[in-house]
Structure 1
């Protein structure tokens, strides 16, 4: 199967780029388990599989207007068969599982071939019922899924994802599949994931389930940002590796096409996650549930329910809540905040909930102190839509540094704590190569 081969190749590249050069005797990466396992989210991959098979919206298209009725109430000891997907072959297969626990908001089933301790099952149920379910539904919306049972099915099993071709093994910690033939509200978790990893993954995937229930056509970058924020809300999970990846690649576009997200590998893949998480946190702190305004508690739920997708959905939600700003206005402040947070900036010039300890990677630097009226043009650089670049200029008077670019891209100057002018450049919705020219004193930048 061509699609399966392409997916397998993408996964190999993802692992190798994420962990660097791998050798049989080399150390495991910092985010790996002792056995060399690296955990990732499988939801974008399962979406790509369904796109390859042409059945991405199969369940939506076959919906006749009513939810499926789940007649049975499951109790510990009850058995059921589920349909799962092999990430390597892209083929569906069945999993025979037994109900191990019934909570207020979940059933926990375990593959009959897996062993999971009772204590871990109890912890999973209590965490889901007391923390994950109320937090995620309270933030993103209470309308869930395709069945009439208030409980979510959680299946613990061995997710088929291993390629066994390196010392460090890629493992999918969990995924949500909105196109599955199970026709129930369901989350898939790998039985080998433990502790904080499985709890964060469960919060992440529940947001996907809620989002799919309210707006199944949402852009991946919006959906993944909300799932990262769900982890943050439930467990203060900051996903620092992903934020650091975005910091190293600030030219990573925020509003990225689904296909580009699915094709991204390694650190760029992680940078997409970091950008989406920071964007969602920025919305929450300035317009939503973390803004301190009780009237804004429903902002993210309204964003999730909005059937316009991507930035158009953000525009509609801002308007719904009475804001005059557009998503473009918010983006301009956001790219500046991503720089100033390293200086201790607070909303709207930074974050409350996360601390970015280093400036975004600088595209270019220049020292203009050697002569009054000095002018400097940086080498041409190319930016995709909704990305940014940062240029550092040392000058006798940083506030007097003038700047221009030959494409008319949006720019803003800030002065950092080291007394250097920093020019932020973004094409916004445009794209292409540009040349930035800066000058000090009587110098005039070239247009």
Structure 2
């Protein structure tokens, strides 16, 4: 729908009393990565620093100044102009409050968006004296941006370059238009596109209910009516600011950082500045929802988790982000957050500073590079997985553990344990890449445990299909799909020629041609006459109809190769996809009118499983023991025995779960997959 339609959409009047309880955490992040302005797409954000001599100074205007910044309609992803008044200026912050922050007239939340001068002053003070000094010391300092070179027309946005512009607005998300049916809302966000639009460092914080969500001891006015309930949420908006401001800093240092590591550092920022105590569980006021979901306690009803929900669990991959149901992403945040805190406790805060500042490596390679000399990352991740299970029992005073040093599998900040009754410990078939299954073994005496893990991942089927008699990539958002065909490159005419109709989002989605001369183990992307620089190499982007494309394959002349047509798209916009017409290599045709002969890359060369680790953990009150599977008898006397099945992926790029079979006394246990075959383990140590 258009922005006008969304803004004028009828909202049914709410009944006088909306029975229920506000969710324990009703704020959420902005998930869009690209925005439009008045319906026109904004360019991809890219910071290009100017030489100091060319930087024009700016000066922040006086309090009371009115300027037209932008508000967000998240229904459409569109930014629209609106007036804000400058309410406070600090040493490093300007706070601008939108003049219109009201809900629609028939919304039942009355008087819920009042912003007082005292509240604005408190946020200014908290940023200047806590968030700014701690995050700049631990992470980085953003560049000065004075608003003199922005791309926004019609307006003055200049100001002191070292001040962060904070826009306080009632974000027009589904909660704005459809409450109480949509109970969660965007509590704040950072968008790099706004930084480039205004040439300022810009943050947005929502205007809802500051009276109960700002400060150390806000009022607690909870009721049974969703319309009037205002439970106390201490430091919620300050925590949101701390989280999103790490994203702002990371944008300048390493804009290509992987989602899971970037989000883990942002969650950690809330602990760094003292707003979130991750030591608390769902049985305590102020617990962290992300970590509770990762540990499998999101669905446990308590006084402080009055509205439990399924939100993922311990069987979670660091490689994958937001791959499950909508609420499962909370566990994705949780595993990353818990890992950051664990690394801080074990190696010190300097390691997290290194992760933030490392622009050369992203994701798992960044962790590898940050490890102290002689420390192997797979071993650290295995220790983290054991810590996730045993920390609560053995980390407290008097706790003991055998089989692994106690200091490696405890985290003073966390007090972690796993809800073993939650099937999210293992229910997805296979083990998660750079994750683990936590399988509680049957009660009673255990005699034999065997494990068999797959040597290779299950090949992915060909994702390309036929449409209109031509090979078609499917035009699927957020995909990386290749169609591969064997070919012989002649010495006399080593050229690939094909007709193609394609509609890729220009500059964001690409089509690549790649060649393998080693049976599909590796592929090299090759340039063509229409290719441009893409994230993975030379590729086609934008739109063309029945275009004639040529690729010089002289480097492979006289050899048999595999040709790959690879479509890589993001999750934002799809505009038509990629169709392949008639194709030839030299004078030999490739049949693009049938699927016969075309395969996915892993159907040709399956991905090898890098490594398995299986540990058995006996767990009791203030005690634990870790043994290999062959020593299961040593765990007799423990009330609980848990198998931790870990799948190691040093690349951080694998997105498939690996099949395995875990058998106890002749009975196959949950988790794993019947398709498992390959590595057999009886020792619980690393397997090849």
TM-score class, shorter:
0.7 to 0.9
Residues 186 and 347 of structure 1: CA distance in aligned 2, closer, same or farther (over 3 Å) = farther
- By how many angstroms is 1:362 displaced? 6.3
1:76 equivalent among 45, 63, 67: 63
CA distance in 2, matches of 1:93, 1:316: 43
- By how many angstroms is 1:25 displaced? 4.8
Larger Rg: 2
Q: Give the aligned partner of residue 392 of structure 2.
A: 342
**Does 1:432 find its partner at 2:658?**
yes
**Does 1:412 find its partner at 2:609?**
no
- By how many angstroms is 1:267 displaced? 3.0
List aligned pairs for 1:32-431, cutoff 5 A.
Answer: 38-42=26-30, 45-47=31-33, 58-60=44-46, 63=48, 65-66=50-51, 69=56, 71-114=58-101, 115-144=114-143, 146-147=145-146, 149-162=161-174, 163-164=177-178, 166-180=180-194, 181-194=197-210, 195=214, 196-237=235-276, 238=278, 240-248=288-296, 249-256=313-320, 260-261=321-322, 264-289=324-349, 298-307=350-359, 308-318=361-371, 322-345=372-395, 347-356=407-416, 358-360=418-420, 381-393=429-441, 402-407=449-454, 409-417=612-620, 419=638, 420-429=640-649, 431=657
CA distance in 1, matches of 2:681, 2:389: 26
- By how many angstroms is 1:301 displaced? 2.1
Contact 1:39 1:173 in 2 (8 A): yes
Q: Give structure 2 stretches of 5+ with no counterpart.
A: 6-16, 102-113, 147-159, 215-234, 279-286, 297-312, 396-405, 456-611, 622-637, 667-679, 683-688
Q: Deviations over 1:272-315 (max 9, x none)?
A: 111111011111111232xxxxxxxx322221121211011111
Q: Deviations over 1:69-107 (max 9, x none)?
A: 451223212232223432111112123212111111111
Q: Deviations over 1:176-229 (max 9, x none)?
A: 011221221111001115212111111111111111111111111111111111
Secondary structure, aligned partner of 2:337: helix
CA distance in 1, matches of 2:137, 2:445: 50
TM-score for the superposition, normalised by structure 2: 0.51
Secondary structure, aligned partner of 2:435: coil
Between 209-218 and 91-100, report the one with greater CA deviation: 91-100
CA distance in 2, matches of 1:421, 1:157: 51
Contact 1:245 1:267 in 2 (8 A): no
- By how many angstroms is 1:46 displaced? 3.0
The structure richer in strand per residue is 2
- RMSD over aligned Cα atoms: 3.2
Q: Deviations over 1:359-397 (max 9, x none)?
A: 4556699xxxxxxxxxxxx99932331221112235777
Q: How many residues align?
A: 385
Residues 107 and 379 of structure 1: CA distance in aligned 2, closer, same or farther (over 3 Å) = closer
